[in-house]
Amino acid sequence: MVAKMETEKTTHDAERVKDYPGNGAGNSRTPDGSVTGQMTLPAEPVKKKKGFKIPLILTSIVVIIVAVAAYIYMSAREETDDAYIDGHISNISSKVAGNVLEVRVTDNEKVKAGQILAKLDPVDYDVKVAQYSANVEQAKYQALASESRIGMSAMSAEGQNTQANATVTATEADIESAKSAIAQAQTDIKQQQARIVEIDAQLQYAKSDFERYKAVFEQRAVKKQDYDKARQAIQVSEAQREGAMQALQMAQHKEIQARSQLNQVMQQLKRSHGGVTSALASIKQTDIDRQQFASATANVKKAEADLKQAKLQQSYTTIISPVGGRIGRKAVEVGQHIEIGQALMAVVQENPWITANFKETQVGRMHKGQPVEVKIDSFPGHTFKAYVDSMAPASGAKFSLLPPDNASGNFTKVVQRIPVKLVFDEKGLDEYRDLISPGMSCVVTVLVKEK
């Protein structure tokens, strides 16, 4: 086999020499066609060997592995640079108008909750407090005077009623024994009628008084003891009326027995009625005095409420911080006159978070608690740790001032952005806590497939 290959090679070389005209120095061709001198055969084309394909294959395999690894790596992450630091910003304003006496903080200064930020001139509000304090005292004295009139009216009514009854008794004593029964019966009837009228008036007043106490009690403006006393007054009046009705029935029964003697005592009985009517009028005046006393008591409560409001406004002249944080956007100076609701400064709380606006195609695999890598533009080279806290209930476009209406005009689909709230891992914020401010831009990467 080897000899055959050598023979074929020799024949092949001879054919090449025969066909080659010669180009080397000293080469010549004889008349008989033979070649003399040294001949240089042209180099035979080198055939590519199969071994050269192996690096290409290995390179292709490496590229495929890298591409697959990159795909796996990127498929486990969702990234966006449409993200920024967010935080609670409390705008401080004044609840009252006035001139600024003191400003106790400066821009970027740290404050605590309850710390005094500024003070207004309290002179005007001190005057109001003094004025309403005097109104309270005046209302109390008026209520005391009304209460005293109630006692005097009650004593007068009781005296008149006693006098009328005494007149009837004296008249009946002069009447013959036979007429005494009817006179007594009719007197009792009138007394009980008057008593019923009096009790009805008291009952009506007690009910109206109870309704007033009920209204103010629901507003917690009176004590429960006063409320219960008003309700008990109704029950007492109703019991008295029931007793008076029974007494009236007994008197009417006596009147039937003594009707034959009625004409003999009629004139004297009419004169006695005048005294009873006068007593009833005095009792009515007593009810009016009680109502005036109730009105004076209400005025006392109103004056006390006005005083409380004046003291509250006086306390508003000291402006305090509702939360802890750092002062920003300070726009108040000593001597400046400020109005109610005017912005004075802002307090930025020290608990920032991240608002990342992911495309709607990115949030499908996100859920609460997934780890997040955060790179803030202000701190290149440092990666913060965070986690997904929650997602907004609607896209950013829906919360805009003029949300898009896709039902009108030509429709062009636009990928929406969904705000996602990310919360920092507290362990990695210690040295950067005072440096991170709301509004900083950042790049966030959510590990949708946890390692």
Greater confidence (99 vs 248) lies with 99
User: Which pLDDT does position 306 carry in this prediction?
Assistant: 92
More confident residue, 20 or 305: 305
Does residue 44 surpass a pLDDT of 60? no
Average pLDDT in the 413-419 region?
A: 89
The pLDDT confidence band at residue 36, using thresholds 50, 70 and 90, is: very low
pLDDT value of position 23? 43
| 433 close to 85: Cβ distance less than 8 angstroms | no
At residue 260 the predicted structure's pLDDT band, cuts being 50, 70 and 90, is low
Q: Is the pLDDT of residue 35 over 70?
A: no
Query: Rounded mean pLDDT of 30-42?
Result: 45
C-alpha angle 288-199-243 in degrees, rounded to nearest 5: 165
Residue 283 has pLDDT above 60, yes or no: yes
Span 82-101, pLDDT tens digits: 999 999 999 999 999 999 99
Lowest mean pLDDT among 50-54, 216-220, 445-449: 50-54
- Structure tokens belonging to residue 115: 């710390």
More confident: 314 or 62: 314
Lowest mean per-residue pLDDT among 4-8, 220-224, 258-262, 440-444: 4-8
pLDDT over 90 percentage in the chain: 34
Most confident of 5-19, 186-200, 426-440: 426-440
- Residue 433: the pLDDT is 83
Can you give the pLDDT at residue 25?
A: 41
* Strand-pair partners of 374: 384, 444
Q: Looking at the predicted structure, is the pLDDT value of residue 176 above 50?
A: yes
Secondary structure (3-state) at 116: strand
Residue 432 confidence class, pLDDT cut points 50, 70, 90:
confident
CA–CA gap between residue 348 and residue 110 (Å, rounded): 9
What is d(CA 384, CA 372) in angstroms, rounded to the nearest whole number? 8
Over residues 434-441, the mean pLDDT reads 90
Task: Please give the full DSSP string across 284-324, using - where no structure is assigned.
Answer: HHHHHHHHHHHHHHHHHHHHHHHHHHHHHHHHTTEEE-SS-
**Is residue 418 scored above 80 in pLDDT?**
yes
Least confident of 128-132, 267-271, 330-334: 267-271
User: Residues 281-291: what's their mean pLDDT?
Assistant: 75
> Mean pLDDT, the chain, as a whole number?
78
Tokens 């035979």 sit on residue: 44
**Per-residue model confidence (pLDDT) at position 188:** 77
Distance CA 31, CA 373 (A): 91
Nearest to 77, CA basis, from 421, 413, 388: 388
pTM for this one? 0.54
Q: Are 420 and 392 in contact (CB under 8 A)?
A: yes
Q: What is the mean pLDDT of residues 252-259?
A: 71
Q: Select the more confidently predicted residue: 446 or 16.
A: 446
Mean pLDDT of 407-423: 84
Which is it for strands 325-328 and 110-111: parallel, antiparallel or unpaired? antiparallel
Percent of the chain residues topping a pLDDT of 70: 71
Q: What is the mean pLDDT of residues 405-420?
A: 81
